[in-house]
Structure 1
Amino acid sequence: MAQETFAFSSSALRSLRLQQELLEQEDRRRALARESATRRFLSLSPRPPLTPHRRPKYCRDPAVHNALYTGDILRIKSIFKDETTTNMIMEMVSEELVWSPEQGLWVLSSRRQQTSALRIAASRGYSDCARHLLLQGAVVDAVVGGRAPLHDSVAAPRPDCARLLLAFGADPNLLNAEGSAPLHLCTAPESLLCAELLLAHGARVNLGTRDQQLTALHVAARQGLVAHVELYLHHGADPSCRTRQGETPLNAACAAAERPEEAERYYRVAERLLAAGANPGAAGRKDHTPLHNACSNGQPRLAQLLLRHGADATIPNCAGYTPMDCALHAVEEYRHQHPEETIALLLNHGAGPVHPKMLKFCCRHPPALEMVLNAYDRIPPPESWVGSVPPELWEEHQEFYASAQCMAGTPRRLQHLARCTVRRHLGARCHLAVPKLALPAPLRHYLQLPLTGVIS
């Protein structure tokens, strides 16, 4: 087999020869190691060695590997003619730079990778090659190099190969070396058809990964895959299922909604999960609720959705931080996403004035600082935040910062004190009750803490 090859350029042939030399060196090293281990075993044990098990056959011929990776069906048919050849382990050795702490420098290290002919064909979408291998006796669920062919086909994703493997009896619930089933590897929007095929062939929608107990719904929620979430819920996925760390799919979605351009996708995922009965107050890792995560990621629309479904705006996590504290910590990073809107939402749903030490986290964004300061009936001393304002920002917003500093420690206007009293009385009902009060529209607007650019 090693004598058969393709017509390559001179550089390609040099590369193949180098690869062959590396493989031969590795073979010699392993043979010497086996021989040494056998001698030690025989010298220590008077008993005759047991009959060895049938060892798998390996193929290290670069020409064969190249035929598989290019999907050359004619060459594949001429090479893989029986069960023995189709189930050979394809082994490749490559040199890569790794850091050696002992030597204190980067060194070349041989890295051996193993796969199977069927895995290669399935991962690259060569369905005609995969069909030939299966008909010649390739084991459809053989786990080589940590994965079975079905894992590769859905991760790629390659729906045609996945359909073929399932038709030949592939197990849709087989775990790979990392403990994930094929359904857990459907992480791209294009993998929806693969997920449908797996479910149609008996994939367990609530099956968790071996170590973390992540379900397919957790994975889809974390990736913001709206269609996948709808599919899994339709097939009975449990929106309250928790991972080993206590995370629900809603926790996963809210924690992953970090980038503004992805906000809409994660909003729709959270909307589907809440409609299916997900608990908006379920505390996960570090006692973070979905609202903590939404506020930490500067997502006012997602926070509003959670609050509308009953999330608690005052509950602390294991560090004692409330959603308001998380929102203030995120002001600097997400100042272009209108963090003052998230702060206003929390204040209108029962969040009270924060500890003065938290003001330093929002003082570089005047609208957020104004919103927080207007929750006090007396402005706290400015020492906790004034030193964190850059001189150039102070100069740009001098009127606002000067008014905030001037009002510190002095009584607010009677009108503001009345506003604080009314809001304190309404508490978490502010967002519902204020618009319904029998007051002139300007007064109702004033009760909702509008931004004016000064503190008075």
Structure 2
Amino acid sequence: LAGESFPFTSSTLRALRLQREWLDWEDRRRAAAQQCRRHRDLPCPQAQLLRPRRSCRDPAVHNALFSGDLQQLQILFQDEDAANMIVETVSNQLAWSAEQGFWVLTPKTKQTAPLTIAVARGYTDCARHLILQGAELDARIGGRAALHEACAQAHPDCVRLLFTFGAKANVSSEEGMTPLHLCTSPESLQCAKLLLEAGASVNVASQESEVTPLHVAAARGLEQHVALYLQNGADVALRTSQGETALNAACAGAEGPGSSRQHEAAARQLLEAGADPQAAGRKRHTPLHNACANGCGGLAELLLRHGASPGVTNGAGHTPMDCALQAVQDAPNWEPEVLFAALLDYGAQPVHPEMLKHCANFPRALEVLLNAYPCVPSCDPWVEAVLPELWQEHEAFYSSALSMENQPRQLQHLARLAVRAQLGSHCRQAAAQLPLPPLLRDYLLLGVEGRIQ
């Protein structure tokens, strides 16, 4: 009525509307309080009416929170209502526009809480002030609670502060992740310890993907996290929604030989804790398939020593050797001959001659594979793929391979293959125990000589 009778400005009308909403809320609160007093002896709980949170885009508030200005924060946040406001930030992000046919900057609004901002940046004093003003510890504004962000950003002092005031260790985000799931960096180890001391569940699975903290740590090669979780009862047999175990995650997460050391250490701990090296996901991809697809020779040999089968096929019909051959071009700076020799020593069959083209420009790897045959098969599948400059550099090897095409090999080579066939998948272990000279042992294990004889 007032808006129709008087020329009020929009800000005045908004103030009147907010005042009316506040009065309505106060009336409902009083009515609920009276009802609670009348029925306080009844066993059924009464629903608590919560005050609606107010949103804020004030730059002064943003600057105080994001810069950790405690003095300004103490001025701006002096009551529970302010401490629990919704802080909105707007940032431009690239998004694909189907109508325009190219990427465009699109404004995206993100909501969070003041306490979440403070702990995510490690502002312990600011976080303490907000908590003392009544900030809700486990509020999930924007999908995550403050404890999630403190762990994700590896701020153990903030984690300790939140626990001091009663934060829940197993609070779940909107994606079903607990704070322990977000300990994803080496620096977050102390946060993980604090969570476990506070009662965090080490075997809790996320809602959709069903990953556990052990899966997360193994996939990132966090060997100390893996050891910590295993000490606290983590189950190595738990699977994700895709049927992957933590060992699968460790082998899949090793993105190339350069990053395999940490993942190899994590995988070793999992295997020693009883992880199944043959466990395959829904696509029948085993840990050995993953290790070979990533070109991780040391990790593959670790799995082979613990009983992984080099002859098993995945859902696409590929063996670990097939995966290793396909990975040769993806990681040019590694030594594929080490991986190929390990697979052959543990019982893998020689590759189909058509597959030799994948390692035509890796003479050392090609030599290992050619020495797995009684005689050198046709070179036509791979000879045209050799780069001219590489041929010139390794002409002795390539020429020797061509000269031995479909020709009888030396008796020494045939004897080597006979011994390897007799030893089968135990070739590498047996060679280490036999009283052989080092040169003969290397020859038995397909050591690289630089030419085919």
Query: 1:71-113 CA deviation, whole Å, 9 max, x = no partner?
Result: 2222222222222221111123345554432134555543222
Mapped partners of 2:141, 2:199: distance in 1: 23
Query: 1:271-305 CA deviation, whole Å, 9 max, x = no partner?
Result: 11111111112112532222222222222222221
2:353 to 352, 356, 370: 356
3-state SS in 2 of match to 1:92: strand
Tell me what 2:231 maps to.
Answer: 234
Once the two structures are TM-superposed, the CA of residue 184 in structure 1 deviates from its matched residue by 0.6
Is 2:126 the counterpart of 1:129? yes
Once the two structures are TM-superposed, the CA of residue 361 in structure 1 deviates from its matched residue by 0.8
Mapped partners of 2:95, 2:50: distance in 1: 35
Q: How does 1:54-93 map to 2 (within 5 A)?
A: 55-93=52-90
Mapped partners of 2:315, 2:386: distance in 1: 30
1:249 to 246, 250, 263: 246
Tell me what 2:175 maps to.
Answer: 178
Mapped partners of 2:196, 2:443: distance in 1: 54
When residues 92 and 447 of structure 1 are mapped into structure 2, their CA distance, relative to the original with a 3 A threshold, is closer
Query: 1:120-147 CA deviation, whole Å, 9 max, x = no partner?
Result: 1111222222222222221111110111
- Is the deviation greater in 354-363 or in 110-119? 110-119
Once the two structures are TM-superposed, the CA of residue 221 in structure 1 deviates from its matched residue by 0.9
2:186 to 168, 189, 193: 189
Mapped partners of 2:275, 2:87: distance in 1: 46
Aligned residues: 409
Once the two structures are TM-superposed, the CA of residue 436 in structure 1 deviates from its matched residue by 4.3
When residues 120 and 328 of structure 1 are mapped into structure 2, their CA distance, relative to the original with a 3 A threshold, is same
Tell me what 1:15 maps to.
Answer: none
Q: How does 1:4-403 map to 2 (within 5 A)?
A: 55-96=52-93, 98-104=95-101, 107=104, 109-284=106-281, 286-403=283-400
Mapped partners of 2:410, 2:135: distance in 1: 82
Mapped partners of 1:194, 1:252: distance in 2: 22
3-state SS in 2 of match to 1:281: coil
Mapped partners of 1:380, 1:93: distance in 2: 64
CA contact (8 A) 1:332 1:364 kept: no
Mapped partners of 2:169, 2:416: distance in 1: 61
CA RMSD of aligned residues (A): 2.4
Mapped partners of 2:442, 2:58: distance in 1: 77
CA contact (8 A) 2:256 2:296 kept: no
When residues 376 and 165 of structure 1 are mapped into structure 2, their CA distance, relative to the original with a 3 A threshold, is same
Percent identical among aligned pairs is: 55
When residues 366 and 109 of structure 1 are mapped into structure 2, their CA distance, relative to the original with a 3 A threshold, is closer
TM-score of the aligned structures, taking structure 1 as reference length: 0.84
- Is the deviation greater in 270-279 or in 92-101? 92-101
Which amino acid is the alignment partner of residue 162 of structure 2?
L
Tell me what 2:446 maps to.
Answer: 449
Query: 1:365-407 CA deviation, whole Å, 9 max, x = no partner?
Result: 1111111011111222112111211222222222221221222
Mapped partners of 1:95, 1:363: distance in 2: 47
TM-score of the aligned structures, taking structure 2 as reference length: 0.84
3-state SS in 1 of match to 2:317: coil
3-state SS in 2 of match to 1:287: coil
CA contact (8 A) 2:257 2:297 kept: no
CA contact (8 A) 2:257 2:294 kept: no
